[in-house]
């Protein structure tokens, strides 16, 4: 047995009888057993090249492997012939006939084997080598920018993970803007706001991927009727051109719009600082099949601007004022100091330090509470200054509780002073009004204020460390009160030492009692 041609071929040839077995899966050719004597009515059609030919010779790599198997079986049978096993059997005929003429040599099998024996040649050059499939085409490049979008030499503004490029073409009376978010998916938007640092009222441009539009991206004009409300589609959609791309995991959407306002709610760009806010989200509207009017998910708490950002689109000048954020931080610290430190200390002194401080306990109790009231009032004033949406929108619970705390903070000292004035050494028990109401009202107020402080930390995304520290402080306060309650106990009005009676004025006005024991 000999081989000719390349080793990637796909043909078996019987040189003596013109027998060809084709195994190439790309070409179909019928080969007959030409010239074989028809003894006993036997004439055999050997092969048609296909995935299902009767010899198990299939296309591609599988066919090549099976063709190799045929030759290997033939070779093994030839060796067995030389060793005296299976005498007179053609190796190729044995291999091809193994399915219909297995071990028992019938007349047909012996005849075919004996006639074809010794005339087998494997020709790998008969058919061209099977070529592998072509490689997958490269991914489509980003959609080219429209001629209406011109960002050559554009100004650039970066705020955290958000970035914006912009350029005004005064002659064409249009502006090109590119918005970029840190996500590969989702949406990114810019709002021309009338309330600096806040998401509206204003006119927004929101871009996202959409298979419904030829560039694969779309920019929808939206109207923000008020802060923290979902922007609604504008009646006028006048974006001139849109392009988009995802590069290095960042979604960038470019568009152009006219300098002049396009319709109700829109703004005309002026050669002066204009207030803007930005936002983005990782969630793509309608999974990439959205329209201009489709709703979209709200951005995350850290996925929007909080500063007072003003952009002059003509000159490229950008200013950013963080005063609002500084005021919010001051508001938070005033409330934390008032309700995590001052008020708990004032309660502790009133309940457990009367004997230790003598007549000064009442002064200390009153002073701490008055400072806490002042801090609460100042903090609430700051909240009113930076939150003009009248308790609408996000964090509404925090705002309502804050208003309740403010009102209760001014009521509680009044109850305390009434209790002090009405105190009498002759009373047999502590009355519910105003004394006990003053106690329980104050305790409930502290718990409500602590809860609201945690709500405030959550609204500003202070993170887990802030919650851990706050929780530790609350735990220390609780353990301190528990330890003092178990050891010192409540000091009530009836436990007056004899020397303290001398503090009572001679006219019987009771001033000494108010200073010493007013609770």
The model's pLDDT over 385-437, given as tens digits with 9 standing for 90+, comes to 877 654 555 578 999 999 999 999 999 999 988 988 888 888 888 888 998 99
Tokens at residue 280, please? 């983005």
- Decide if pLDDT at 128 tops 70: no
**Which distant-in-sequence residues (6+ apart) come within 8 Å of 8 by Cβ?**
64, 124, 129, 130
pLDDT tens-digit profile of 365-377? Answer: 999 999 999 999 9
Tell me the pLDDT of the chain averaged across its residues: 76
- CA distance to 7, 12, 205, per residue, from 161 (Å): 58, 67, 18
Specify which of 62-76, 164-178, 385-399 reaches the highest per-range mean pLDDT. Answer: 164-178
DSSP string, 204-271: EEEEEE-TTSTTSEEEEEEEE-STTSPPEEPS-----EEEEEEETTEEEEEEEEESS--STT-----S
Instruction: Give the pLDDT score at 71.
Output: 42
Lowest mean pLDDT segment, chosen from 51-65, 241-255, 318-332, 349-363:
51-65
Lowest mean pLDDT segment, chosen from 101-110, 250-259, 300-309, 392-401:
101-110
Range 98-113 average pLDDT: 46
Instruction: Give the pLDDT score at 265.
Output: 82
Looking at per-residue confidence, does 5 or 338 come out higher? 338
Instruction: Parse the chain into domains and list their residue ranges.
Output: 155-316, 323-502
Instruction: Give the pLDDT score at 490.
Output: 61
- Please give the DSSP secondary-structure letter assigned to residue 153: T
Residue 263 pLDDT class (50, 70, 90 cuts): confident
- Residues forming a β-bridge with 310: 275, 319
Residue 315 pLDDT class (50, 70, 90 cuts): very high
Instruction: Give the pLDDT score at 251.
Output: 97
Q: CA angle, corner 438, sides to 437 and 439, nearest 5? A: 90
Residue 169 pLDDT class (50, 70, 90 cuts): very high
- Decide if pLDDT at 207 tops 50: yes
Backbone φ and ψ of 310, nearest 5°:
-130, 130
- Decide if pLDDT at 232 tops 60: yes
Instruction: Give the pLDDT score at 7.
Output: 39
Instruction: Give the pLDDT score at 354.
Output: 86
Instruction: Give the pLDDT score at 98.
Output: 46
Q: How far apart are CA 410 and CA 376, in angstroms?
A: 10
Percent of the chain with pLDDT over 70: 65
Residue 111 pLDDT class (50, 70, 90 cuts): very low
Which CATH class name applies to 155-316? mainly beta
- Please give the DSSP secondary-structure letter assigned to residue 167: E
Range 198-212 average pLDDT: 91
Tokens at residue 372, please? 């806490």
Domains 155-316 and 323-502 share a fold: no
Residue 21 pLDDT class (50, 70, 90 cuts): very low
Residue 80 exposed, middle or buried by CB count within 10 Å (0-12, 13-18, 19+):
middle
Q: Are 20 and 13 in contact (CB under 8 A)?
A: yes
Instruction: Give the pLDDT score at 193.
Output: 92
Looking at per-residue confidence, does 77 or 427 come out higher? 427
Range 220-241 average pLDDT: 86
- Decide if pLDDT at 472 tops 80: yes
Range 95-102 average pLDDT: 47
Task: Return the SS3 of 31.
Answer: strand
Looking at per-residue confidence, does 23 or 200 come out higher? 200
Residue 319 pLDDT class (50, 70, 90 cuts): very high
Instruction: Give the pLDDT score at 310.
Output: 96
Q: Which CATH number fits domain 323-502: 2.60.120, 1.10.3470, 1.20.120, 1.10.10?
A: 1.20.120
Instruction: Give the pLDDT score at 87.
Output: 43
Instruction: Give the pLDDT score at 57.
Output: 40
């Amino acid at each position: 047995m000999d081989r000719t041609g390349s080793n990637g071929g796909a043909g078996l040839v019987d040189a003596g009888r013109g027998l060809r077995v084709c195994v190439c899966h790309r070409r179909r050719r019928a080969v007959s057993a030409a010239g074989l004597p028809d003894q006993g009515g036997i004439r055999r059609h050997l092969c048609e090249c296909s995935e299902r030919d009767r010899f198990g010779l299939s296309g591609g790599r599988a066919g090549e492997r099976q063709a190799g198997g045929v030759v290997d079986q033939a070779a093994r049978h030839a060796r067995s012939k030389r060793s005296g096993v299976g005498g007179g059997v053609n190796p190729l005929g044995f291999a091809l006939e193994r399915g219909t003429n297995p071990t028992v040599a019938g007349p047909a099998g012996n005849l075919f084997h004996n006639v074809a024996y010794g005339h087998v040649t494997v020709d790998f050059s008969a058919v061209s080598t099977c070529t592998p499939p072509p490689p997958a085409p490269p991914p489509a490049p980003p959609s080219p920018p429209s001629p209406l979008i011109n960002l050559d030499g554009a100004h650039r503004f970066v705020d955290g993970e958000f970035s914006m490029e912009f350029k005004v073409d005064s002659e064409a009376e249009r502006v090109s803007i590119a918005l970029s978010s840190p996500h590969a998916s989702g949406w990114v938007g810019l709002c021309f706001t009338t309330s600096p640092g806040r998401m509206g009222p204003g006119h927004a441009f929101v871009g996202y991927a959409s298979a419904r539009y030829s560039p694969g991206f779309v920019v929808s004009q939206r109207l923000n009727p008020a802060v923290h409300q979902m922007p609604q589609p504008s009646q006028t959609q006048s974006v001139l051109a849109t392009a988009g791309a995802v590069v290095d995991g960042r979604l960038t959407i470019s568009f152009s719009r006219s300098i002049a306002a396009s319709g109700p709610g829109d703004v005309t760009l002026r050669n002066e600082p204009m207030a803007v806010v930005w936002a983005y989200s990782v969630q793509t509207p309608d999974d990439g099949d959205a329209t201009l009017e489709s709703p979209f998910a709200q951005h995350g708490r850290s996925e929007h601007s909080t500063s007072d950002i003003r952009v002059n689109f003509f000159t490229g000048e950008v200013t950013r004022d963080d005063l609002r954020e500084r005021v919010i931080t001051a508001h938070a610290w005033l409330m934390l100091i008032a309700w995590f430190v001052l008020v708990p200390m004032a309660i502790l002194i009133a309940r457990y330090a009367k004997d230790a401080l003598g007549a000064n306990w009442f002064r200390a109790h009153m002073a701490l509470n008055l400072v806490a009231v002042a801090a609460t009032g100042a903090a609430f004033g700051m909240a009113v200054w930076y939150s003009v949406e009248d308790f609408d929108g996000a964090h509404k619970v925090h705002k309502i509780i804050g208003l309740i705390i403010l009102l209760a903070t001014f009521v509680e000292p009044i109850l305390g002073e009434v209790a002090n004035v009405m105190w009498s050494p002759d009373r047999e028990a502590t009355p519910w009004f105003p004394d006990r109401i003053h106690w329980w009202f104050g305790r409930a107020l502290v718990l409500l204020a602590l809860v609201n402080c945690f709500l405030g930390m959550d609204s500003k995304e202070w993170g887990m460390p802030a919650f851990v520290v706050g929780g530790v402080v609350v735990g220390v306060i609780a353990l301190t009160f528990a330890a003092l309650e178990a050891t010192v106990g409540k000091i009530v009005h009836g436990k007056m030492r004899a020397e303290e009676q001398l503090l009572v004025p001679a006219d019987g006005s009771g001033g000494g009692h108010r200073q010493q024991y007013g609770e």
